[in-house]
Amino acid sequence: MVQIVDRAINRIGPVFIAIALVLLAMCVFCYYLVVFPYTHRWSDAGFLGKIYIATMLAWSAYMVYCIFFHYYMAIVTSPGNVLDRPGMDPRLRADESDPAIAESHQQEDTETSIREVLLELEEYSVYPKTCKKCHLPKPERAHHCSICNSCVLKFDHHCPWIHNCVGHNNHRYFVLFMTYLVVSATYFALAAWRPFIIALDFINTEWPYYYPRPLVAFSYILAICMGVAIAALCAWHYYLLLTGQTTVEFYNNQYEKGLHKTQGEIFVNMYDFGVKENFKIFFNISDKNPWYSVLIPVPVPPKGSGRIFEKCQEFSLLPTNRQHQYFQVQAEYSDIEDGVKDV
């Protein structure tokens, strides 16, 4: 039954994307065809007023672009596969007409990738390196997605609205998409309440805008509902990234915290470097990517390969047997979760 649901979610993914794009476009058209002309009257504005209107127009265009850019990147960016190799472009051999040669080259790439992954994970011999589902090396924080049928690096969850997993490579785009959407929805709700009230006044038939009244009312309600729902999800993901966790790890860590507490021990999240450092790691803020890179809608790769992650100082100070125990527990949770999905 679960497999049937997984296949259905995978196939219906493009439909979810189409619905999301239609709803977003509806609010954008409502803003530019009704809300902006109503709240910013160019003909009545003075010189400073015109500068303000032009600034607001540029700001709103920037927000719209950021929303669609990060949504697009969250969709098309692979969350991270175990066999991904830096610099390897799968299109290089796309023109091979002989299927046998193409298959041979693909097998060579796979074998080379496996060797590279095993060499990279060699020092972590305590951690199991094989996924029981896809039978490939399985790095730390990776989980097998039953919908995509592959192991995803730093797996957070599978999102049908992007028809993709949220993982190591695209988690940043997913969070920024939600961030810009929540800010824009809040601004839209504050700026559009008067046009919304006027749109509900069906007694007065005068309506100087091309955008229909019912769509204005629907867009306003949609923006509020969408803003509230996504704000909650966005806040949740900021809590996770600021505490160095994924959604999967949060529930495991909560259980482990309770277990350690009953044993009189303190649980240490090996990936938690503190709020500020966690923020910089997640958004890959560095000398190459300064803090304002978060505000620029350009592709920014994540920090690291997604196979091996730095450990915090508190974890490094633990005895070796405790460190090994943490890795073992992490592996056991991963196996349990991957097994439950196929029940």
Q: Report the pLDDT value the prediction gives residue 112, as an integer from 0 to 100.
A: 52
Query: Does the pLDDT of residue 125 top 70, yes or no?
Result: no
Spatial distance between the Cα atoms of 79 and 179, rounded to a whole number of angstroms: 19
Q: What is the pLDDT of residues 154-199, one digit of tens each?
A: 999 999 999 999 999 999 999 999 999 999 999 999 999 999 999 9
Residue 221 in 3-state DSSP?
helix
Spatial distance between the Cα atoms of 27 and 197, rounded to a whole number of angstroms: 16
Residue type, 166: V
Residue 336 in 3-state DSSP?
helix
- 28, two tokens: 């954008």
Q: How far is CA 319 from CA 37, 86, 263, 323, in A?
A: 65, 34, 17, 6
- 85, two tokens: 């190799």
Residue type, 340: V
Q: Report the pLDDT value the prediction gives residue 196, as an integer from 0 to 100.
A: 94
159, 225, 234, 312: the active-site residue:
159
Residue 159 a catalytic site member = yes
The DSSP letter of residue 333 is: H
DSSP secondary structure of 155-219: --EEETTTTEEE-TTTHHHHHHHHHHHHHHHHHHHHHSHHHHHHHH--SS-----SS-HHHHHHH
Phi, psi of 2 (to 5 degrees): -65, -40
The lowest-confidence range among 61-65, 237-241, 322-326 is 322-326
**Left (φ > 0), alpha (ψ -120 to 50) or beta: where does 141 sit?**
left
Query: Does the pLDDT of residue 336 top 90, yes or no?
Result: no
Domain ranges of the chain: 2-82+156-340
